[in-house]
Structure 1
Amino acid sequence: MQYYNQNTLIYLNGEFVKAHGAVVDLFGQSLHYGYGAFEGLRSYSTHNGTRIFKAEEHFERLEKSCNAINLPYSWNNRMLIEKTYELLAANNLRSAYIRPLVFSGSNMHLMTSTDANIMIAAWEWGPYLGQNLLKVNISSIERPNPKSFRVDAKISGQYINSIMATSEAINNGFDEALLLDQDGCVAQASSENIFIEKDFKIYTPPLENIFPGITRQTVIDICKDLNFEIIEKKLTIDDVYQADSAFLSGTAAEIIGVKQVDHVIYKEHWENTIGASIQRKYKNLVLEQENYEVII
């Protein structure tokens, strides 16, 4: 897809500049070593105007990701949120995907950087995985070991793991990959968290070896609000195979149901599942169609 055109503006180090004219330092660690941090946010067109869902949480997580790898972060998050709204208006965007990226300057040494840059871009993007139920396969590629990498941080280089897992899944005729952790337990999809339903209860892996998704926490909050029992526990492949249904969550993908995992097709009709109720509640929430919480 085309992410920008000749008129698209991005926010770069305090200024709004044309995307096609922006330059990248070819001697930067981010380009050579993946030493950078990023976020993904969504804005929605609501009856209250354009709203970015959980903007503060996302920019706070961006700051935490930078701190996790000692990448300098000198920006005020409230200012960045304001600039993001300005960016959306400048590009005439309402419902959009937003990508902030913090990247380093020139440094070819394997030492943490002393300076950093920030870029924020936005474009129209539907649900990342589409809207149809997904075919998912158990990947041969494992989730990174938390003792070797900060799996709770959204670091650019880490997503090579996701690219390889997703590519493998698609080449095998599936839509998305489900990765195991170093102990053989189910961790998450390539860029989404997983939930399964069994006997009217919702289960999801604990935070130990997975990415702490903001949408994941929103799902947990929705479950509590709707009085659905939700349990965080280690899940086996058999747990996933024997579930009544399953769904994935993520900012880009939102909430999307799973049709099958490997050869196992879920028999429960998606519209009758708890996951479908959560999906509807989530859509109402981000569109501010109910008085659930204040969206900043």
Structure 2
Amino acid sequence: MQYYNSNTVIYLDGRFVKAQDAKTDLYGQSLHYGLAAFEGIRAYKTHNDTRIFKIKEHFERLKRSCELVNMPYPWDNNELIKQTYQLLKLNNLKDAYIRPIVYSAPNMTLIAPQEVSIMICAWEWGAYLGDKQLKVCISPFQRPNPKSTFVEAKISGHYVNSILATTDAKNKGFDEALLLDMHENVAEGSGANIFLEKNGKLYTPTLGNILAGITRATVIELCKVLDIEVIEKTISVEELKSADSAFFCGTAAEIIGIHTLDDTVFKQRWHDSIGATIQRAYKNLVLEKVNYEVII
């Protein structure tokens, strides 16, 4: 995928600059130790012009991630939101993926930085995991012990775990990995939360060992509107494999069905599942085709 070209503009510390001219310091703590906070945000072309879905919530989580790991966050989120829309306009982007990242100034110690920078970039975006149901395997890699880090913070270094899991899954012929927590219970995908359907209800792992996904929260909101019961609980592998259907959800992945988990084929046809209903409702919501609620 080509993320930028000679005309691409990024936002860097209060200025719009050409991506090819931007520079970073090779002595940055973020590069050496993975201490950077980031977000993945989606913009959609709607009949009401380009809308960035839940941009306020994403920037609030970015700020919270920085606070959790003691990184400064000297910016006003309303200003960052304004500049993000301007970034899309400058790059003539309608349907896009947006990546803000807060990273450290030169700092080769193991102490949180006192100075940071922010960069926001964007590029055209399609279906991250495709548009077909996925073949998923249980990963040999677990999510980190929540006492070892702040799992609710979206920190760059955490994603080494995701890269290992996804690479392993792809090498085995699967589309994606499902990671368990330290107790061998279901956690999440490498970059998405998971829901399962059983007897007309949806179940999803409780917070504590997983990222509190913004799309996950949106699914729960949609279920309230659609009168679908959602239960947050500890879920064993056996419970998941006995489910009627299952799906991943995330900003990049949106809503995507899971066809198989290891050798288990989910018995319900995707088009008849609650997940498919949520998939349609979510697409209508982000494209502002329905009025479930105003989320901009």
Q: What band does the TM-score fall into relative to the shorter chain?
A: over 0.9
Equivalent residue, structure 1, for 2:280 = 280
Query: Once the 2 structures are TM-superposed, how far is the Cα of residue 157 of structure 1 from its aligned partner?
Result: 0.4
Equivalent residue, structure 2, for 1:74 = 74
CA contact (8 A) 2:138 2:178 kept: yes
Show the 5 A alignment for 1:87-166: 87-166=87-166
2:11 and 2:33 mapped to 1: Cα distance? Answer: 23
Equivalent residue, structure 2, for 1:33 = 33
Query: Once the 2 structures are TM-superposed, how far is the Cα of residue 224 of structure 1 from its aligned partner?
Result: 1.1
2:210 and 2:107 mapped to 1: Cα distance? Answer: 30
Show the 5 A alignment for 1:1-296: 1-296=1-296
Query: Once the 2 structures are TM-superposed, how far is the Cα of residue 139 of structure 1 from its aligned partner?
Result: 0.3
Query: Once the 2 structures are TM-superposed, how far is the Cα of residue 125 of structure 1 from its aligned partner?
Result: 1.2
Query: Once the 2 structures are TM-superposed, how far is the Cα of residue 286 of structure 1 from its aligned partner?
Result: 0.2
What TM-score, normalized by structure 1, do the two folds share?
A: 0.99
Amino acid at match of 2:94: R
Amino acid at match of 1:142: Q
CA contact (8 A) 2:93 2:123 kept: yes
Query: Once the 2 structures are TM-superposed, how far is the Cα of residue 295 of structure 1 from its aligned partner?
Result: 2.4
CA shift digits 1:85-108 (9 cap, x unpaired): 000000000110000000000010
1:150 and 1:45 mapped to 2: Cα distance? Answer: 34
2:29 and 2:56 mapped to 1: Cα distance? Answer: 27
Amino acid at match of 2:32: H
What TM-score, normalized by structure 2, do the two folds share?
A: 0.99
1:183 and 1:260 mapped to 2: Cα distance? Answer: 23
CA shift digits 1:202-256 (9 cap, x unpaired): 0000001110000000000111111111100100111111110000000000000
1:171 and 1:110 mapped to 2: Cα distance? Answer: 34
SS in 1 for 2:150: coil
Which portions of structure 1, spanning 4 or more consecutive aligned residues, are displaced by more than 3 angstroms?
A: none
SS in 2 for 1:248: strand
1:42 and 1:189 mapped to 2: Cα distance? Answer: 19
Query: Once the 2 structures are TM-superposed, how far is the Cα of residue 293 of structure 1 from its aligned partner?
Result: 1.5
CA RMSD of aligned residues (A): 0.6
SS in 2 for 1:208: coil
Amino acid at match of 1:277: T
CA shift digits 1:17-68 (9 cap, x unpaired): 1111111110000000001000010000011100000010000000000001
Query: Once the 2 structures are TM-superposed, how far is the Cα of residue 112 of structure 1 from its aligned partner?
Result: 0.7
CA contact (8 A) 2:194 2:246 kept: yes
CA shift digits 1:112-163 (9 cap, x unpaired): 1000000000000112111110000000000011100100000000000000
SS in 1 for 2:26: coil
CA contact (8 A) 2:225 2:292 kept: no
Kindly tell me the number of residue pairs found equivalent between the two proteins.
296
